Each structure stands twice: as structure tokens, then as C-alpha cells.
Amino acid sequence: MIKVVYHPLFETHYPTAQVESPERVQVIKRELENSFPFVEAQEATEEDVLLVHTPQLVSRVKEITNLYKVALMAVGGAISASRIALRGEKAFALIRPPGHHARRDFHWGFCFFNNVAIAVKKLLDEKVIKSAMVLDIDLHYGDGTADIFSSCDEVRVINIQEDDPHDFLRETEKALGSLKEDLLALSAGFDRYKLDWGRTLDMEDYYRLGKLIYEATITLPCFAVLEGGYYLPHLGKVVRRFLEGLSGQ
């Protein structure tokens, strides 16, 4: 059973685009809370953030009203999910703000700290893993993650950017077939949903996507971190179908 990492701080209002609202995590939480066990996120430290970001970026984030504590908790949620994965259970970090656009010294696209990159870098620095694949299934290219790991031989970043559902699933399966790293980290965006911006995948496609990943990681640590997904009427159900596939249901 997948564990969902969450904290009430993620429902905080802070200055960002209107679509990246607290309602995103609220609708997902309501859909998942009766089907999956929840675990409370633990706040990350500034030292964790500095594993991949510059002090200048941290200072800029601190200046944004109501944001810094929430952003640290989002990083902590990703780290918590990675720890659960190392114990042999899959985990989903239900967090905000998202992170895959955050570069070393630049934040944009609703992202401030790169949650998944920090979690992976922390495991590498602790030498509990030697390598990792970051698989990004969001509509938008995870430029921040790609930038952060561009000179890191231990981390392979793959963005699936196909606009046809069959091609998307095929390319995902191809990427998973090449998986040889010690851990799989998922930047799990849901804005490719057919009624969201990407207009690519339906709910059953997300189930199949989760099932492909489940089958490729039966014996491998795997955790997912929420990135995009903005069509609130269906967002919770889309995430639930994905997690049902990812848990092998």
C-alpha cells in the first residue's frame, strides 16, 4: 500500500499563480484519505535546500510572504517519501509548492525549491544509494531538475513529452525498460489529463501509467512527488487512479 505524505501547511495561501491554489491538495486529500494511509511530513532544513540551491535563491524565497515555511515542509515531504521508499514501501508526497522548474539559482513556474532534486541529492550524499532515475511525467519539461543534475553522472533525468496517449505510455515503458539505477523518483504532474492543459491522458491512462511504473519497481525503491495538475473537479480522482496503478491494484 502506498503511503501519502502530507501536512496541513500545504493548504497555506502564499503569493503565486491563482491556479496553484491550496484547493489542489485539498481535493486530492479528500479523495485519498479513505483509501491510503497518511504520514505527516517533517520539515526540511535550510542545509537540505542548499544541497542543490544557492544561498541567494534561499534569500529570495524568504522574502515572499507566508512561503518559506511551506516550501521547507514541501522539501521535507519529498525527503520523507524517499525515506519510506528506502524501507521498501512506495510513497506519494502530496505537497505544494511544486518544484521541478526550480533551478539552482532561479525559481519560476509556481516552483521555488526543487523538492525531488533535494530528496535525491540527500540520499546520494548520505551514500544510501549510488544512482537514481528521475522520471518526469508532468506536461511541462522539468527544466530545473535537468539543470541541477546536468553534470551529475549518478542521476539520469527523463522527461516524457509525448502528446499522444499511446506514444506517452510507450515512451514511459521504454524509459522504465532502461532503468538500472538504485531508485526511481517520480515528478508526478497531472496536467496532461484530458480536461487539464495537456489534454492527453484520461483516468484509465493514468492507471496504466501507474501500473507500468509498479511493474518496473517491484524490487526497487520508488517514490512520487506532486508537481502540476489544475483541473480541480477531477484532480483527486485522477491522482487516485494513478496511485491505484502504482500500488499494483
Cα distances (Å, whole numbers) of residue 93 to 90, 188, 223: 10, 9, 8
Q: Catalytic residue among 101, 107, 140, 234, which?
A: 101
Residues 6 or more apart whose Cβ sits within 8 Å of residue 89: 1, 2, 3
For the chain, how are helix, strand and coil distributed in percent, rounded to 5? 40, 15, 45
- Give the residue from 96, 91, 38, 51 showing the smallest Cα distance to 71: 96
**Packing angle of the helix pair 232-246, 22-32 (nearest 10 deg):** 50
Is 219 buried (19+), middle (13-18) or exposed (0-12) by CB count in 10 A? Answer: exposed
Show the cell assigned to 191: 496536467
Task: Tell me which DSSP letter residue 2 carries.
Answer: P
Q: Three cell numbers at 24? A: 489542489
Rounded to a whole number of angstroms, the CA Rg of the chain reads: 16
C-alpha cell at 138: 508532468
CB 38 within 8 A of CB 124: no
For residue 107, indicate whether it is catalytic.
no
Closest CA to 33 of 4, 72, 68, 12: 4
Active site amino acids: 101
